[in-house]
Amino acid sequence: MAASKAKKQNPLMAKIREDFPRKLQALFNVTPEEASDKQVYHVLSTIIVEILGEKRQKFVNKTHSVGGKQIYYLSMEFLMGRSLKTNIYNLELADDIRAMLKEHTINMDRIFEQEPDAGLGNGGLGRLAACYLDALATTGFPAMGYSILYEFGIFRQKIEDGMQIELADDWLPGGSVWLVPRPELAIEVHLEGSLQEYWDNHHFHVSHVNYNTVIATPYDMYVSGYDTDAVSVLRLWSAKTPGFSSAAMKEFSEGHFASALAQDALDNSISKILYPNDNHLDGKNLRLRQQYLLCAASIGDIVNNHMAVYGTLENLADKVSIHINDTHPTLAIPELMRILLDDCGYKWDKAWDIVTRTFAYTNHTVMAEALEKWDVSLIKQVIPRIFSIIIEINNRYCQTLMERNGYDSEKTTRMSIVKDNMIHMATLCVAASHSVNGVSKLHSQIIKDSVFHDEYEFSPEKFKNVTNGIAYRRWLYQSNPALTQLLSDTIGTKFIKDGAELEKFRKFENDETVLNKLLDVKKQSKIAFSNYVLDRDGIEIDPDSIFDVQVKRLHEYKRQHLNAMNILTDYAYLMNNPDAPFTPKTYIFAAKAAPGYYLAKQIIKMIWAISEEVRKNPNIHNKLRIVFLENYCVTLSEHLMPAADISEQISTAGTEASGTGCMKLMLNGAITLGTLDGANIEIKDAVGDDNIVIFGMTTPEVNELKARGYYPIDYCHGDGRINDAIERMYRGINGCTFPEVASSLKERDPYMVLADFDSYRKAQAYITECYNDRMKWAKMSLNNIAGAGIFSADRAVTEYADNIWHLR
Ligand code: 26Q
């Protein structure tokens, strides 16, 4: 491929060529010719893990020798996807390994297909964490991610008669080859029990007694960057009880068989499975144990690492930044306090000073139902010492607030970490972090204006913005070879290392030859994707139709049902006007719903029902097709992004913190059809008004309408198309009725679908018109690719390093 920088063989190839047949022989007793694809996958992965392990060691030694600052990124989720392909590409080994395998008549792409996705996340927040590990390695910052080694990741989704079925994601059989066990670094974590307080030598002590012990064992996953000496590590904690405890044995001997075993089973289940909710909190005991396991094990490990190098925690804040990915790892804050106070004997003020200079927090949501709160009684029972520390943090914080707020007790109560018998995690994060950031310009502003308005007034210097970014190489040169070739031919290959280089592509916006080639590239990608879907799902799609794509988690605020209402309206129009001109269109949806989110599942079923009904109508089916692809995951997105024409980003203004799928789609030349929400606003700034299609209310308009009183029924009465679409949901689509979706829209419509419907219809008509003017469309597409550079995760982590972690 033209993208590879040098034609000469990568120096790592000598080892790989030697190891490949040797390891196949040693591990499986086969020659390369005899080996199955699975065996080849296993051996290649083992070789890459070894290469990365050595490289990481060299990098860590170098960092220590210069006393460099370490960044630790704590997240309950890392949606890693596959490792083999991205590491081979990032190590610039793709051409050489492809050639080596070909000598044995092995196809490299088929080998990549053997790997299961590491689906240790729900969606945007988890994928962002994964992108940042890649970017941190690429930019050369020493980084470690921490999370949980879920035995089962995000569920595999099947759609049966329109219903989402969740299947267990048993990824370890194929995925564990990427995990390097580090049993020597295991950490003891203490749960439950009680506190004993005592004085000795004028010092107050607290000790935690009668606790249950869980052993957290780390497994390391290496993440290569591109063209760099650095390697990131994702350290994943697996929980096990330390055999049968003496307390359990005593209980067992006394005849309480079931309860002795139950505690053991509970503790062994901590790292069993990822909670499949996003943007909705679920205050369950097991989730709390997971969060504390992550925090206690990671903080223990960070402290051990630091002590091994410096022998003191005095300089922790100068040498370490701990980043909290949303509030899920908040307990890391009181856990570090606990170690400083109880284990190291620090006084409160000194410990608090170290903690507040060490932590930084990113918020990812403004939705009230996603702001984490925990019952005081649950925290007290599961982690009693942490509870007492949180209470003390709160008492001191409220005291400072009172003094600074002129004894305004109402305001202090509003800002309190503990209120109404709940612990408010975001408030604790803001109080204890030196930096609080949102993930797009709009979102960071909303945080200051509303979610954390009081806190912003109290310490405005803390509040920052870092607009999200993506590990764009994964979705460009690793996933879209045709576009990579065109870019290399026109602007050279520097864009692979430096996203800003993409800007040079803009020069060609009026070059008809390049524009035609770009249309051709898209066509090739659409054909490739159609073949992939036929093979994967047995669904036929027409690469000559417009590919209109909405792929993301299913949530009412993301408004997949607005998209569906538009399709219903088109369908009714085609039924009444079978011969009217209509540009053939394929609506592509993919989305997982949280298993307990009933309305979201109904919306999936409704999209499926529309798809079925249209499919059964041959006259319409050649113009209008709807496909709902099951099991949206990182790998499916890599296949899909290159093929998309239209990127649907249609959330109600003010609800989507950023969105990152929008960036992957624009990078591949799709045109955004979106509201002025999240990162869409910055996409518009990057591509210009002519190269994006915006519709709907702005955030202030949404707020005004809410304040004035929003009555969705008025829109039903005022617009026949809206009324007809909602009536269809009541009456039945493909024999299924959707009364809950219909009533929710008609009676409440919390995300103002109906208010934006007319504007959305017009935008849909306009974007189709643009598509039909092929040169105009190609130019829009080209401008999107050229403008995508600022959405590189390399840019984003550099901003974190400069403005938040102060790494340089
Ligand atoms: C919380 C408590 C208990 C159980 C689950 C959760 C939970 C889990 C995941 C809450 C939220 C999430 C995920 C949120 C998320 O993915 N947010 C998205 O983050 C992206 C990266 O910043 C943004 O681009 C999206 O706009 C935002 O929705």
pLDDT digits (tens, 9 = 90+) for 62-111: 988 888 899 999 999 999 999 999 999 999 999 999 999 999 999 999 99
pLDDT for 61: 93
For residue 371, report the distance from its CA to the centre of ligand 1, in Å: 10
| pLDDT bracket for residue 166 (50, 70, 90) | very high
**What is the CB-side half-sphere exposure of residue 718 using CA atoms within 13 A?**
9
pLDDT for 243: 77
Cβ-based burial of 407 (10 A; exposed 0-12, middle 13-18, buried ≥19): exposed
Q: Is 621 a catalytic residue?
A: no
For residue 392, report the distance from its CA to the centre of ligand 1, in Å: 29
pLDDT for 304: 98
For residue 558, report the distance from its CA to the centre of ligand 1, in Å: 13
Out of 128, 274, 278, 660, give the residue to mutate to test ligand 1, the one with the largest number of ligand atoms within 8 Å of its CB.
278
Q: How does 485-519 read in b/e, with b if 16+ C-beta sit within 10 Å?
A: bbbbebbebebbeebebbbbbbebbeeeebbebbb
Higher-pLDDT residue of 264, 325: 325
Distinct helix (H) and strand (E) counts, the chain: 35, 25
Dist. CA 726–CA 742, nearest whole Å: 5
pLDDT for 370: 84
Provide the whole-model pTM: 0.97
| pLDDT bracket for residue 547 (50, 70, 90) | very high
- Closest residue by CA, ligand 1 atom 15: 125
Dist. CA 297–CA 148, nearest whole Å: 10
| pLDDT bracket for residue 163 (50, 70, 90) | very high
Q: Is 105 a catalytic residue?
A: no
Q: Is 779 a catalytic residue?
A: no
* Pair of tokens at residue 393: 């943090």
Is the C-beta atom of 282 inside 6 A of ligand 1?
yes
Q: Is 605 a catalytic residue?
A: no
* Pair of tokens at residue 665: 């789609």
* φ and ψ of 80, to 5 deg: -75, -30
Annotated catalytic residue within 323, 328, 664, 684: 664
Dist. CA 632–CA 610, nearest whole Å: 19
Annotated catalytic residue within 127, 364, 373, 585: 364
Residues linked to residue 549 through DSSP beta bridges, in sequence order = 588, 647
Is the C-beta atom of 470 inside 6 A of ligand 1?
no
Mean pLDDT throughout 725-752? 98
Is the C-beta atom of 675 inside 6 A of ligand 1?
no
pLDDT tens-digit map of 629-648:
999 999 999 999 999 999 99
The pairing of strands 359-362 and 212-224 is: unpaired
Dist. CA 40–CA 33, nearest whole Å: 10
Above 60 in pLDDT, residue 168? Answer: yes
Strands (E), 130-177: 143-148, 156-160, 163-167
Above 80 in pLDDT, residue 715? Answer: yes
In the block, residue with structure tokens 């220590």: 64
* Pair of tokens at residue 343: 């284990």
CA dihedral 162, 163, 167, 169 (to 10 degrees): 60
Mean pLDDT throughout 417-422? 97
Atom of ligand 1 nearest to the CA of 121: 9
Is the C-beta atom of 468 inside 6 A of ligand 1?
yes
Annotated catalytic residue within 42, 558, 585, 779: 558
Dist. CA 747–CA 654, nearest whole Å: 21
In the block, residue with structure tokens 């590239």: 521
Is residue 159 within 8 A of residue 608, CB to CB? The reply is yes
Is the C-beta atom of 660 inside 6 A of ligand 1?
yes
Is the C-beta atom of 682 inside 6 A of ligand 1?
no
Dist. CA 622–CA 553, nearest whole Å: 28
Above 70 in pLDDT, residue 654? Answer: yes
pLDDT tens-digit map of 30-65:
999 999 999 999 999 999 999 999 999 999 999 888
- Closest residue by CA, ligand 1 atom 17: 125
pLDDT tens-digit map of 689-708:
999 999 999 999 999 999 99
pLDDT for 262: 83
Above 90 in pLDDT, residue 245? Answer: no
Q: Is 553 a catalytic residue?
A: yes
Q: Is 396 a catalytic residue?
A: no
Above 70 in pLDDT, residue 1? Answer: no
- Closest residue by CA, ligand 1 atom 1: 281
Is the C-beta atom of 128 inside 6 A of ligand 1?
yes
Of 676, 512, 537, nearest to 608 (Cα)? 537
Dist. CA 654–CA 663, nearest whole Å: 18
